[in-house]
């Protein structure tokens, strides 16, 4: 997971959502246990980054 210094812009958010969707798709179709574990880790990272970005947006909104 990368730590964010500012919230995602629209393009970055869409990229993270597509990557998360890709991880979920791989989890659903993979027959390799190691790949499934890796995809769960990546999916968790994308969710955490999206959540951090949203919390930063809310903080900025409250500071105004």
- Residue 15 CA to residue 62 CA, distance in Å, equals 26
Judged against a pLDDT cut of 70, whether residue 1 lies above it is answered with: no
- Mean pLDDT of the 35-43 span: 98
Q: Let me know how long the chain is.
A: 64
Query: Token pair for residue 36?
Result: 């499934």
Distant-in-sequence contacts of 43-48, Cβ < 8 A, 24+ apart: 44/1, 45/1, 46/16, 46/17, 46/19, 46/20, 47/20, 48/1
- Residue 42 CA to residue 48 CA, distance in Å, equals 10
Global pTM reads: 0.88
């Amino acid at each position: 997971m990368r730590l964010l210094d500012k919230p995602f812009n629209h393009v970055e958010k869409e990229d993270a959502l597509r990557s998360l969707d890709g991880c979920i798709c791989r989890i659903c179709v993979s027959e390799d246990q190691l790949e499934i574990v890796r995809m769960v880790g990546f999916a968790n990272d994308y969710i955490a980054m999206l959540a951090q970005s949203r919390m930063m947006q809310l903080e900025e909104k409250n500071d105004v």
